[in-house]
Amino acid sequence: MAILRPFDGIVASPFDVAYTDSELSKLAKMLKSLDGETKVVMECTGTYHLPVAYILHDAELFVSTVNPIITHNYGNNSIRKARNDRTDAIKIANYTLTN
């Protein structure tokens, strides 16, 4: 997960979240404590994203999903081919800010 703001850049460096009720509840509380409007955007990954989406939606956060093909093709103008969860999180957050 990455947290970015328009014009401010990275609010929180990319980090991992365990898919447990307690960890997702902590995540929801942390996101709700941020100043300003918070929108959560994640890739549709079969049903893997659903527990996160449900808990964050139940916490009254804006939740949206995007097709992984769209985010994969977004911003592919780098000569670096690094691909991992942290770089993907930043890429999805940047896609969200742009679109």
pLDDT grade for 82, boundaries at 50, 70 and 90: low
Nearest to 32 by CA among 58, 66, 7, 50: 58
The residue extents of the domains of the chain are 3-98
CA pair distance 31, 28, nearest whole angstrom: 5
Phi, psi of 70 (to 5 degrees): -65, -45
pLDDT at 57: 94
Q: Which DSSP category does 2 fall into?
A: -
pLDDT at 11: 78
For residue 65, the cross-strand partners are 42
Give the contacts of 2 (CB within 8 A, at least 6 positions apart).
10, 12, 13, 14, 86, 89, 90, 92, 93
pLDDT digits (tens, 9 = 90+) for 13-39: 788 888 899 999 999 999 999 888 888
